[in-house]
């Protein structure tokens, strides 16, 4: 019993000691320049894109599909459609500033928690952070970091690429536990989109999504307005 | 005056009714034509149309059928995947992280409905489909499939199969999910009763 209590106390101590990674202040760089560098992997203009998605799930399971997305950067509206290799639409949903509308979902994609998680993951890859820019600085490796604070106490760190390196996004929950990472490789796609993005959800039931860009093009507000969404 | 004649000819051609597919006068004649086929090989191009896209998502692949119950349905781009039914045994493989991986049995069983449909089309047994009610449009050489159950209609509104002029050959399959999405498969380089490699219905290496 004593041993259990000791382990529990140690575990609590470890968790209570968890804090967001340290960011040292930057003096030389202007705030606007830093933000511009941090968010360079996200197109400024609205766009549509098509990716292949390779998912690695727990227990060694894997799945591949195609994803089409339409992003209105100003209104922070995202429509994401998942398509099976055989061409069947598995999932179709729109998120406007976090409000989700599911247009079509075929099992196992018909679970609302799953839908929310999916849209959050797609948003992380395609939309610049929505939170308030809390800190700018450099991490322990001397890399520029832009830290955004979410309304729920979560934090999102954006570490832009230097030279041929990849851009990193790290999301921490309010307890400073790392819950998502996204790595953007080769930002030479149309509109500066990364040709490959690897998103990871760590943990026992963690997963990895590898997105490869097939194509992208800019769109106008008019395009969004003329694509009414049918409810299936 | 020549351009005027040409224009008249063009309009006449457009207005002319499509040539009926001779071998597809009835479901019985389709079944009869299909029954003589031992194998079919074809390349296909799949276009996935979505309302949010200006251009469809294009996939390319290869299709092989050996009567009565062996199918290889292979996608080469943009994602490599092979679905194989060998004498009724169904499996699917996807190229994942530089190697072929076999799909879980449960997911493959979900595909059996699709494979059973394809098999019934290839053997000309459209009317025997458990999931779809078949209507023959002899004038246009098409078979229209409509879901029997609402559960299926929620996923697929209808399927239009355009038959080729060559007996027992399908030219195009259009799967309409609803106003926002459809998939069109166009078959080309169709070879009937040609040589089949022994390994064609074996797992990919």
Q: Is residue A123 part of a domain?
A: yes
Number of domains chain B is built from: 1
ipTM of the complex: 0.86
Nearest CA in chain A to B48: A87
Q: Is residue B1 part of a domain?
A: no
Q: The pTM is what? A: 0.87
Which residues, other chains included, contact B137 with Cβ-Cβ below 8 Å and sequence gap of 6+? B143, B144
pLDDT at position A8 is 52
Using a CB–CB cut-off of 8 Å, the residues of B that contact A are 46, 48, 50-55, 57, 59, 75, 78-79, 81, 94-97, 101, 104, 107, 114, 154-155, 175, 177-181, 183, 185
Query: Using CB atoms, which residue from A64, A81, A215 is nearest to B81?
Result: A64
- pLDDT tens for residues B10-68? 444 344 444 457 788 889 999 888 889 999 999 999 999 999 999 999 999 999 999 98
Q: Which residues of A touch B177 (CB under 8 A)?
A: 88-89, 104, 232
- A104-118, A133-147, A167-181, B107-121: which has the minimum mean pLDDT? B107-121
Rounded to a whole number of angstroms, the distance from the CA of B74 to the nearest CA of chain A is 10
CATH number, domain of A176, equals 2.50.20
Query: Using CB atoms, which residue from B48, B51, B55 is nearest to A83?
Result: B48
DSSP string, B80-133: -EEEEEETTEEEEEEEETTEEEEPPHHHHHHHHHHHHHHHHHHTT-GGG-SSEE
Q: Is residue A232 part of a domain?
A: no
Number of domains chain A is built from: 1
Q: Is residue A12 part of a domain?
A: no
Q: Is residue B162 part of a domain?
A: yes
Which structural domain, as residue segments, surrounds residue B172? 19-195
- pLDDT tens for residues A136-147? 999 998 899 999
Number of H helices, E strands in chain B: 4, 11
Which structural domain, as residue segments, surrounds residue A190? 19-225
């Amino acid at each position: 019993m004593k041993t259990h209590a000791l382990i529990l106390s140690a575990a609590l101590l470890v968790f209570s000691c968890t804090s967001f990674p340290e960011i040292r202040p930057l003096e030389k760089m202007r705030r606007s320049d830093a933000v511009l560098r941090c968010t360079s992997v996200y197109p400024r203009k609205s766009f549509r894109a098509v990716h292949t998605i390779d998912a690695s799930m727990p227990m060694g399971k894997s799945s591949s599909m195609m994803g089409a997305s339409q992003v209105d950067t100003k209104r922070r509206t995202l429509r994401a459609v998942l398509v099976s290799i055989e061409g069947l639409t598995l999932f179709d949903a729109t998120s406007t500033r976090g409000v989700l509308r599911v247009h079509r979902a075929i099992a196992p994609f018909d679970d609302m928690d799953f839908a929310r998680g999916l849209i959050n993951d797609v948003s992380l890859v395609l939309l610049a952070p929505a939170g308030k820019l809390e800190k700018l600085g450099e991490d322990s490796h001397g890399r520029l970091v832009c830290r955004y604070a979410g309304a729920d106490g979560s934090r999102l760190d954006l570490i832009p690429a230097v030279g041929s390196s990849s851009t990193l996004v790290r999301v921490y929950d309010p307890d400073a536990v790392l819950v998502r990472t996204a790595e953007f490789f080769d930002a030479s796609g149309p509109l500066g989109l990364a040709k490959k993005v690897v998103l990871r959800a760590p943990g026992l039931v963690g997963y990895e999504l590898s997105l490869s860009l097939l194509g992208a093009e800019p769109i106008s507000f008019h395009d969004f307005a003329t694509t009414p969404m049918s409810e299936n | 005056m020549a351009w005027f004649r040409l224009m008249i000819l063009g309009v006449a051609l457009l207005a002319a009714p499509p040539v009926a597919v001779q071998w597809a006068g009835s479901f019985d004649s389709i079944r009869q034509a299909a029954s003589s086929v031992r194998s079919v090989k074809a390349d296909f191009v799949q276009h996935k149309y979505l309302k949010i896209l200006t251009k469809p998502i294009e996939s390319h692949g290869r299709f092989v059928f050996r009567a009565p119950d062996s199918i290889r349905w292979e996608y080469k781009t943009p994602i490599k995947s092979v679905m194989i039914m060998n004498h009724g045994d169904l499996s699917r493989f996807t190229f994942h992280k530089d190697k072929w991986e076999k799909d879980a049995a449960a997911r493959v069983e979900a595909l059996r409905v699709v494979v059973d449909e394809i098999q019934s089309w290839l053997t000309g047994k459209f009317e025997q489909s458990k999931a779809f009610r078949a209507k023959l449009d002899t004038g246009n050489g098409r078979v229209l499939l409509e879901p029997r159950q609402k559960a299926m209609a929620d996923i697929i509104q209808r399927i239009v199969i355009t038959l080729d002029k060559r007996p027992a050959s399908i030219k195009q399959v259009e799967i309409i999910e609803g106003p926002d999405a459809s998939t069109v498969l166009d078959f080309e380089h169709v070879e009937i009763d040609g040589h089949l490699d022994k390994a064609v219905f074996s797992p990919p290496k």
